[in-house]
Amino acid sequence: MSHSILVVDDEVRLADVLAAALEDLGFRATAVHSARAALGELEQARFDLVLTDLRLPVMDGRELLREVRSRWPEVPVIIITAFAAVRDAVDLVKEGAFDYIAKPFEIDDVSATIRRALRLADVVRDNERLRSELEGRYSFDTLVGNSASFRRVIEQVTEVCETKATVLLNGESGTGKELVAKAIHFNSPRRDKPFVAVNCAAIPEPLLESELFGHVKGAFTGALANRTGRFAAADGGTLFLDEIGDMPLPIQAKLLRVIQERSFEPVGATRTQTVDVRLVAATHKDMRQAVDKGSFREDLFYRLNVFPIVLPPLRDRADDVPLLATHFLAELAEAMGKRASGFSPAALAAMTAYDWPGNIRELHNCIERAVIVAKAPTIDAGDLPQDLFNAARRGDRDSLPRDLDAELERIERDFILEALRRSDGVQVRAAKLLGIAERSLWHRIKKLGIRLGRAIAD
């Protein structure tokens, strides 16, 4: 789709000729002859760029630039000016104009400047779209769970995300530590800046220092060029140090200095760099035990443990399994283009009874497999990995519900309450989320004795 350009010049013939020339170059161009007319066009239609003369009657190009920057900041403005007024145009670039073109000009020069402005605007627009998608992907709504232990996690994330405090996430592998770290970042004042993650256990010790702090050319064998480290890349944003408990002691000492002084030197460099980075660290280890054993510095532990959050294992939040399973089912079915509307009672019972040693990551993988192999829209127990079905059928008998009907009723109630909460009590939307008819939802609400006002408030 071609870009749309608004041409503004009080010289009617010049404006019309310039618009026609831009049309010949493949743009969609509209010519107007005053700043007021330009604002009217911008209010009525979407334009990708404004090309305006500096000298206009009543409202000049400077005032038009300010209006556009204020009301449509994503739209670049290029100033056309007589050679004698180039100094004014340079000042306008400082105020936010993309560039200026001096009269007389060649249409090729105009085209080249426009194309540069549009390329930059497209990149900015794409970055904004990606950032919005990331914010949506890591909003609080993606932290799915209704159990008391997980509600506490959400409360803590809500409390800390607006602050600059260092956060230490502790939990077993697969409990969603990186997801929580991203939720903290994308709901913080730093959301517009980078989120940079590094797995301290996955990088060999000789390379970890360079990975974190960067290096200069020639610092060691193989350092053929300068390299920017993760701290510098995260400047202004958030650095997520995953598996911090596996960081070697020599690197721990360097990390402590960065936290204390907010500065570091790349490997082989003599110049100090300062950074403004918010740290979120994560580990599956008992850090106090690691300190006692001498494998982790006590002073660094206290620097990191400013705001600790413990993520519960999935076996301790069995009530959340149906909600998480439904969440993953919707995501994966959409991504794969498959029809999947829910789970059979047997499948829900099997998943709820299983203890999920791989936690949320294992549950996600389980649902992904089920979506692939299922032949019907409803996921049945046979679509689940065999060990889950067997666990519910022959495993630890104490983990099975003693009253299957009561257990299934509880699961059904949890599903309906979560759907009502997400849809702000609008039953049509809740029914759509659950994949059932509105009338069926109404009968279930009545059967279960759910009070709508209280359900939404809870």
For 92-146, how does the pLDDT look when each residue is reduced to its tens digit (9 = 90+)?
A: 888 888 888 888 888 988 999 999 888 888 776 665 555 555 445 555 666 788 8
333: which 2 tokens?
Answer: 């079915």
Tell me the percentage of the chain whose pLDDT exceeds 90: 38
Residue 394's pLDDT band, with cuts at 50, 70 and 90, is very low
Res 8: pLDDT? 95
How many CB atoms neighbour CB 441 within 10 A? 20
Q: In whole angstroms, give the CA distance from residue 110 to residue 295.
A: 64
pLDDT at 85: 64
Distances (CA, A) of 175 to 312, 324, 326: 7, 12, 17
Query: Which span out of 90-94, 123-127, 156-160, 439-443 was modeled with the highest average pLDDT?
Result: 156-160
Token duo for residue 438: 């509105």
Q: Of the candidates 26, 76, 85, 25, which has an alpha carbon nearest to the alpha carbon of residue 52?
A: 76
If pLDDT is split at 50, 70 and 90, which confidence band does 397 have?
A: very low
From CA 67, how far away is CA 185, in angstroms rounded?
Answer: 33
pLDDT over 60 at 220, yes or no: yes
pLDDT at 396 over 50: no
Give dist(CA 134, CA 300) in Å, integer: 31
Cβ density class 55-91: b for 16+ within 10 Å, e for less: ebeebbbbebbebbbeebeebbbbbbbeeebeebbee
Six-digit token pair at 157?
């994330």
Which has more pLDDT, 66 or 225? 66
Cα–Cα dist 141/148, whole Å: 16
Q: How confident is the model at residue 405 (pLDDT cuts 50, 70, 90)?
A: low
Least confident of 28-42, 343-357, 373-387, 428-442: 428-442
CA 163, 169, 175, 178: dihedral to nearest 10 degrees?
A: 60
Supply the mean pLDDT for the chain: 85
Helices (H) and strands (E) in the chain, counts: 20, 14
Q: What's residue 288's pLDDT?
A: 93
Residue 457 has pLDDT above 80, yes or no: no
Structural contact between residues 299 and 388, judged by C-beta atoms closer than 8 angstroms: no
Q: Is the pLDDT of residue 333 over 80?
A: yes
Could you report how far apart the first and last alpha carbons of the chain are, in Å?
A: 47
Q: Which of 35-39, 268-272, 402-406 has the highest mean pLDDT?
A: 35-39
Q: How far is CA 366 from CA 23, 89, 171, in A?
A: 55, 61, 21
The rounded distance, in Å, linking the Cα atoms of 46 and 3 is 10
Radius of gyration of the chain (CA): 29
Choice between 252 and 119, residue whose per-residue pLDDT is larger? 252
pLDDT score of 126:
62
Please give the Cα distance from 331 to 348 (Å, whole number): 18
Q: Pairing relation of β-strands 49-53 and 238-242? A: unpaired
The predicted model scores a pTM of 0.59
For the residues 233-241, what does the mean pLDDT come to? 93
SS3 96: coil
Tell me if 64 sits within 8 A of 16, measured CB to CB: no
What average pLDDT score do residues 79-98 get?
A: 78
CB 198 within 8 A of CB 240: yes
pLDDT interval class at 395 (50, 70, 90): very low
What pLDDT is stored for residue 282 in this prediction?
Answer: 96
Alpha helices in 104-176 (DSSP H): 107-137, 148-160
